[in-house]
Amino acid sequence: MIFSGLPAGVRDILPEECAALGEIKRRLARKFQQNGFEPVESATLEYFDTYSRIANAVPEERMFKLSDKDGKLLVLRPDATLAISRIAATKLSAPRARLSYFTRKYVLQEAGGVSGREIYQAGVECLGEEGAFADAKTIAFAVECLKETGLKDFVVEVGHVGYFKGLLEDCGLSEGEAERVRAHVNAKDSLSAQRLLEHAGVKKSALNAVLALPALFGGAEIFARAEAITENATAREAIARLREIHTLLSQMGYEKYVCYDLGTVRRLAYYSGVVFSGLVREVGAPVMSGGRYDFLADDFGKHVPAVGFAMGLKRILVALERQGNLPAPEPISVAVACERGAEAVGYKAVTKALEEGKRAVLLSDYGEEALKAVAAAEKYLATKEGLKRI
């Protein structure tokens, strides 16, 4: 018996879903092109050392590894943004670039629900762009891209890693302790965070500031509350940047799509400023995530400030299906069946329809009966005498 199963975390995409995915990709590709983004495609295979010996190293246990013929260790692309940062640092001469991509990344992890190990993404990177306006217009463009896919009732949560970094400065933690606190805070596990902070001997005021993070969620009113619980300069600079971004988004007409969350804390070494996620009720994980990562390209020898985002296309498909809004494929305009001996007549008729920009199919079954099972605007039977409209 032939084994036909698939590894955990990967799946086949069947025709109906594949057609919907293709339509989403078509819409986004047009959106990217209209907004001045140039397409790029990074290599699927890279050297293990590229991602293991950098400041923002991908944990070895999260990478799919294989050996090259010369014995060197290779990995399947584990991170799309790091791959673009490598390209920006080593292969682009211009100080600024706006790049878009459709790619897969491969993450060796336990997978279930909407999580996978083969993750299909669409994304953009604004390289060489700095300042609050660059952040705000990237968030605004992320909103436009989510709308373009057909998603309804989504929200973009915005935060800033500088606020949490500032609170940690007052805690005096080691890098390892800081990462463990971050993980607990991000998981909304306040009790574990408190225990770790108390064990580290953190003073009460700094401890209370960290534990207040999960409550710092909502509209622009949270900025004053966030400022009130800390005097740390780094944290206050982060709030000042968020105020600027909020003002710009409001002036640009995007205030209704955005809320603020200082309790969702991303990887501290990876992100350098604003962070944001696209959320829908129908999926229990972000369908889009992004932020500012000014120092990723430094790992590859060149400083390139950047902000961007990636959209999980399979998660978006799940959300669209649950919202009852999967994009329908273009309907068939012309269907042609043939009598035996009239195949060439039918083939020429379909070719002509295609040249006219119509979606046309030549049926493999013979005779008029074959047309009954096909939904098409026009149906023809090809005979030796010519075409007959049915």
Quick: pLDDT tens for 354-365: 999 999 999 988
Question: What value does the CA radius of gyration of the chain take, rounded to a whole number of Å?
Answer: 26
Indicate the pTM of the whole model.
Answer: 0.90
**142-196 residue pLDDT tens:** 999 999 999 999 999 999 999 999 998 899 888 888 888 888 888 888 899 899 8
Write the pLDDT tens digit of every residue in 219-229.
Answer: 999 999 999 99
> What is residue 257's DSSP assignment?
G
Say which residue, 338 or 189, is predicted with more confidence.
338
CA distance 203 to 173: 11
How is residue 385 written in tokens?
A: 């005498």
The residues, ordered by sequence, that sit 6+ positions from 255 with a Cβ below 8 Å of its Cβ are 246, 249
Residue 327 has what pLDDT?
87
Check whether 4 has a pLDDT greater than 80: no
Q: How confident is the model at residue 111 (pLDDT cuts 50, 70, 90)?
A: low
Q: How confident is the model at residue 113 (pLDDT cuts 50, 70, 90)?
A: low
Q: Residue 250 is inside which H or E element, if any? A: helix 233-252
Check if the beta carbon of residue 256 is closer than 8 Å to that of residue 134: no
Nearest-10 Cα torsion for 345, 350, 355, 360: 170
pLDDT, tens only, 245-300? 999 999 999 999 999 999 888 777 789 999 999 999 999 899 999 999 999 999 99
**381 with 390: CB under 8 angstroms?**
yes
Q: Check residues 306 and 113 and name the one with the higher pLDDT.
A: 306
Q: If pLDDT is split at 50, 70 and 90, which confidence band does 110 have?
A: low
Give the containing element (helix H, strand E) for 102: strand 97-106
**Predicted pLDDT of residue 296:** 95
Q: Is the pLDDT of residue 202 over 80?
A: yes
Mean pLDDT across the stretch 382-390? 90
pLDDT for res 79? 95
Write out pLDDT tens, residues 46-73: 999 999 988 888 989 999 999 999 999 9
The per-residue pLDDT for 260 is: 97
81, 98 contact by CB (below 8 A): no
Listed by start position, the domains of the chain span 15-322, 334-389
Name the architecture of domain 15-322: 2-Layer Sandwich (3.30)
Task: Mean pLDDT check: name the lowest of 108-112, 152-156, 318-322.
Answer: 108-112
